[in-house]
Every structure is written in C-alpha cells, then in structure tokens.
Chains A and B, each alone.
Chain A
Amino acid sequence: MGASGLEILINVVKMVAIFLLMVQLVPILVWVERRGSAFIQNRFGPNRVGPLGLTQLLADAVKFLFKEEFRPPKSIAFLYYAAPVVAIIPGALAFGAIPLSAPFTLELGGELVQFNFQSFHLGIGIVFVLGISSLGAYALLFAGWGSGNKYSLMGALRASAQMISYELALGLSIVGILLIYGTFSFDEMITAQQGPLRFMLMGKPIVVDFLPNWGIFYQPLGFILFFAATFAETNRAPFDLPEAEAELVAGYHTEYGGLKMLMFYIGEYGHMMVASALLVTFFFGGWDLPFGSEGVREAIGSSFLYSLVMHLVFMGKVLLFLWIFIWVRWTLPRFRYDQLMDLGWKTMLPWALFNTVATAAIVVLFNSQGGLS
C-alpha cells in the first residue's frame, strides 16, 4: 500500500471516527438531559446503574435491542423502515462538513500530507449544510405518512411547516454573517476570527486588545435570531409542538418503538450538535482558543497533538451550547401553534430583514469613504 492508499485509509478512518463521535455523544447527552432535568426539578434522576447512573443508557440500549419488532398493519413498509435511517443521515452529513479542529499534517512515505479535521472539506460549507438540513423534513414526512396513523401525520405536517417557517429566519441571519466574513468556507471564517477584536472605523483601524475577534461582537442580533431559529429547526422545547403529548400523543414517532425510536433521538441530538457547532463556528471563533492558540502550538510542537487539543477546545464550546439547549427545554413552557407561527413570520423574519439591512449599511459606512450616496 503506497502513500496515497494510506491517505485514503486515514480519510475513511477519520470519517468513521467523526460519525461514531456523534453517535457516542447521544447517550451522554441523554444522561445529561435526564440528570439535568432532575437537578432542575429537584429530583434524583437515574442514579442506580453505575457511578452517577452513567451506565443507565447502556442498559437502555441493550433493552432497546431486545424489543419486539413491530410494524402497524396500516403502515407502508418501505417508508416506515426508511424513516429512522433517513432521520440520521442529514445530521451526520452536515456534521461532517464542519471543521472540528485545526488541520494537521502527517508524514506518509517520506512526504508531508495535510488532513482536515473534518469528514470532507467543502468550499461552500454553509450552503451545503443549509441544503442538507432542508432535507431533514423528509424523515418526519416519511414517518408521518408511513405509519398510517393520524397523530403521526398531523405531527409530521406541523413539524415540517414549523421547520420551513423558521428556515427563513435562519437563512436571513446567515446573510448577516456572510456580509461580515465574505466567504462560504468555515475555515476562512475561523481564520478571520483569530486574534484580538479589530475593525475599520471611517478608514481608521481600531484594535481592542482584551476581546477576541469573535463574530458575536459583530452580529449580536444575528446571534439571537440564529440561536432561536435553531431551536425551532431541531424541534426542541419550547418549539416542540410536533410532539405535544397533550394533543398529538408523541407526534410523528407515535408508532415507533425500540431501536427505531432511538434512531429518531440520534437524529434529534445530531441536529442539536450541528446547530451548536455552527453557533460556535459563526460567533465564537470555532476551534480557536482566544489568546492561547499560538502558545499551545509552540508548547506542543506536534501537529497532530495540537489538533487534538484544539478539538477539545471546540468540543468544550459545543458542549456548553448543548447544555443551554437542555437547560432551555426544562425551563420554558411550550408555545401554542399560532404563537409559534406568529413568532416565526411576524417577529423573527422582520427582525432578520432589519439585521441584514443594518449590517449592510454599517459595513458600507465603516469601510468606504463615500457613504451611501
């Protein structure tokens, strides 16, 4: 096997490792969610199996494996079985396109080869992630129509109408980010966010030494809109109308059980991880450690170890946002459906439009001599 064969092997291993990382985070997140909700509601939560109840989810997974295989007779077999598989694909593909750490170089057969710390490197990063996430509605529609149950169908319709409504606010808040960075590529965005806060004011450069050059300082309104829209996109509380148990039993996965149900969970947590990773990449500098990256690189020396350390930094930021997702779920009550649609179309969309125009005007005013005339 030559150098190029080894290169392909490393790329495949990397791809599988990143996918397994995503799948392995799900049980941990479910544990955090159950323990965290218990903590918030002054209960104990699962604490019997293993230390702090950590192996509870392992036991649950084994139980899921040995559940009876069941398909409702009115369901459409292909759609019913395809829905859980389709549910995990968009999240995995979108997560694969996000750089999780600094690229590293390895010496293969005497020559240095550079590897990106992501499944595949794309120049059009954001647009690819948006396109793939817009396919997420199909898992819901497959499950809703394929189950042959009216609760499933209603849940799926609500979920997809909600997803497409909030996709508008999501897309528009990304336009503001594009105006600031002027690139589709995640790598170039992270590079632009390194170093101290600096910008041009009327042609004069201004540097603020004690703040990192993060996107949140340029797009505070865009951050709020993006964050709120991702809650709706991932169907998490307070936007979890599709599974409002008082009205719709369990929404689109009413007729699912066992491991197939668990796969919908993997899909949901996968979307949450993608949303958190995007938030970190757009607004919080990605894998960059503010004021410390260069020092760490010099202290470590090895390119691969440096990537691993930066990956830990990235995962730390992502886990913080995942915890906020969980925290919000157990704090805020659920919206009513008309309130949800009103918020999406009549509040967030106008504000996102305002954010786009305001960002464009400010970028012109700060960067050019002529102003707007």
Chain B
Amino acid sequence: MTEVFIFYIFAALTVFAGLGVLLHPNPIMCALHLVAAMIGIAGLFFNLNAPFIAAVQIMVYAGAVMVLFLFVIMIFDLKEEGRGIFSYGALSNFLKILFAGLFSGLLLSSILFKISRFGYLIPDKTAPQFEVRNLAKVMFTDYVFAFEVLGLLLLVIPIGTVALSRIRGGTHAQ
C-alpha cells in the first residue's frame, strides 16, 4: 500500500517536472526542472528495491550531467533564443505539448502492444531481488568483454571533446 502511494508521489513529481521542462521559457529553469525529474526517477528506482541504481541515477544524471547542462546553458547567451517563436506564448506551448504527446503516445502504444502480445508488465514477485553483488558477478564474468569495451568507449569521449574544443575558432585554438 505504501509503495503504491510513494509511486504516485514520485510519478507526479516526474511528470510535473517534465512539463516544467517543456513549458518554462527560461532555459535555466528548464534545466532545473529536469533535475527534479531526475530525482523523481531516482525515487521510483528506490521504490522498486534498487537503491544502488537510484543513487547512481542521482550521482550521474542529477549530480554530473545536469551540472554540465547548466554550464553549457550559461556558456551560450541564450537571450536571442529566448525570444524565438518556440519559447513564449500559447502557440509554442501548444506545439510543445503536441509533440511531447505524440512521442509519449508512440511509447505508450508500443508498451501496450507488448503487453497484449506477451502479457507482462507487473514485475514478478518471485524473481530474485536486485542485489549489487549479483550485478557485479554477472558484469565481471559473462559480460566482461562488454565491460572492457565500455572502458574504451569512455576513453574516446574525453579525447573527442578535447579535439573538438581545439579546432579553429575555439578558445583553445592554437
């Protein structure tokens, strides 16, 4: 009973924060609403007995990615964009909600199709509980090759970022 109640609290937080991301004219406020949405999703993970995933969600998305977004928004002066047709007024809000609605409709219909086809959505209560130890055992035995490739992928990101920031015209141009 409690878990249903808490699910609705966090679901409402996530949905309203998501609407805030869409509808707020100021890009900084949009980013802050996205932070709230991330915290809501972390709460949902916590409610599903996966506290480690919840903490990782907060650390990576709310603590790192959103700080990057805020820095990026502050780097570019977004006043000109703020005056565009897609930022203010009933028309732009209508368009935003329309496209977001179309996208979530697509998502929802695919989920409903999957349920009608395979008939599962509610997690199996008899399945083993999520444990970080089990995750680690699977990750470092069966998927160890994928894990090392991931290390390589994470190496590519900083190299690419630095290379991009050094091309002509950037502040790191040589």
Residues of chain A at the chain B interface (Cβ within 8 Å): 79, 122-124, 127-128, 130-132, 134-135, 137-138, 141-142, 145, 153, 157, 160, 164, 167, 184
B44 within 8 A of A: no
Question: With A145-B28, A160-B67 in contact, is A131–B56 under 8 Å at CB?
Answer: yes
Q: Nearest Cβ distance between residue B118 and chain A, in whole angstroms?
A: 32
A142–B132 CA distance with the chains assembled, in angstroms: 34
Task: Contact check, B64 vs A164: say whether CB atoms are below 8 A apart.
Answer: yes
Provide the residues of chain A in CB contact with B74, threshold 8 Å. 145, 153, 157
**CB < 8 Å neighbour of B67 from A122, A130, A164:** A164
Question: With A138-B35, A145-B28, A157-B71 in contact, is A123–B51 under 8 Å at CB?
Answer: yes
B62 within 8 A of A: yes
Task: Contact check, A130 vs B51: say whether CB atoms are below 8 A apart.
Answer: no
Provide the residues of chain B in CB contact with A153, threshold 8 Å. 74
Question: With A132-B58, A138-B35, A184-B132 in contact, is A127–B52 under 8 Å at CB?
Answer: yes
Q: Nearest Cβ distance between residue A109 and chain B, in whole angstroms?
A: 22
Q: Nearest Cβ distance between residue B82 and chain A, in whole angstroms?
A: 14
| Tally of contact residues, B, Cβ under 8 A | 20
Task: Contact check, A131 vs B55: say whether CB atoms are below 8 A apart.
Answer: yes
- For A164, the closest partner residue in chain B by CB is B67
B63 within 8 A of A: yes
Provide the residues of chain B in CB contact with A123, threshold 8 Å. 51
Number of contacts between A and B (CB, 8 Å)?
52
For the residues of B in contact with A, the DSSP-based class is: helix
B107 within 8 A of A: no
Task: Contact check, B55 vs A124: say whether CB atoms are below 8 A apart.
Answer: yes
Task: Contact check, A137 vs B55: say whether CB atoms are below 8 A apart.
Answer: no
A135–B60 CA distance with the chains assembled, in angstroms: 10
- For A130, the closest partner residue in chain B by CB is B59
Produce 1/0 per residue, B37-80, CB < 8 A to A: 00100100000000110111011001110010011001000000
Additional A-B contacts beyond A127-B56, A131-B42, A137-B63 (14; CB < 8 A): A79-B32, A123-B51, A124-B51, A127-B52, A130-B55, A131-B54, A131-B63, A135-B58, A135-B63, A141-B67, A153-B74, A157-B74, A164-B63, A184-B52
For the residues of A in contact with B, the DSSP-based class is: helix
Provide the residues of chain A in CB contact with B64, threshold 8 Å. 134, 164
Provide the residues of chain A in CB contact with B70, threshold 8 Å. 141
A132–B42 CA distance with the chains assembled, in angstroms: 11
Provide the residues of chain A in CB contact with B71, threshold 8 Å. 157
- For A128, the closest partner residue in chain B by CB is B55
- For A123, the closest partner residue in chain B by CB is B51
A157–B68 CA distance with the chains assembled, in angstroms: 11
Task: Contact check, B132 vs A131: say whether CB atoms are below 8 A apart.
Answer: no
Q: Nearest Cβ distance between residue B110 and chain A, in whole angstroms?
A: 31
Provide the residues of chain A in CB contact with B62, threshold 8 Å. 134-135
Task: Contact check, A134 vs B63: say whether CB atoms are below 8 A apart.
Answer: yes
A367–B84 CA distance with the chains assembled, in angstroms: 65
A132–B57 CA distance with the chains assembled, in angstroms: 11
A164–B35 CA distance with the chains assembled, in angstroms: 16
- List residues of B (123-137) whose CB comes within 8 Å of A's CBs: 132
A164–B71 CA distance with the chains assembled, in angstroms: 12
Provide the residues of chain A in CB contact with B51, threshold 8 Å. 122-124, 127-128
Q: Nearest Cβ distance between residue A221 and chain B, in whole angstroms?
A: 24
Q: Nearest Cβ distance between residue B21 and chain A, in whole angstroms?
A: 16
A-B contact pairs, 20 of them (CB 8 A): A124-B51, A124-B52, A124-B132, A127-B51, A127-B55, A127-B56, A127-B59, A130-B55, A131-B42, A131-B54, A131-B56, A134-B63, A134-B64, A137-B67, A138-B32, A141-B70, A145-B28, A164-B64, A167-B63, A184-B132
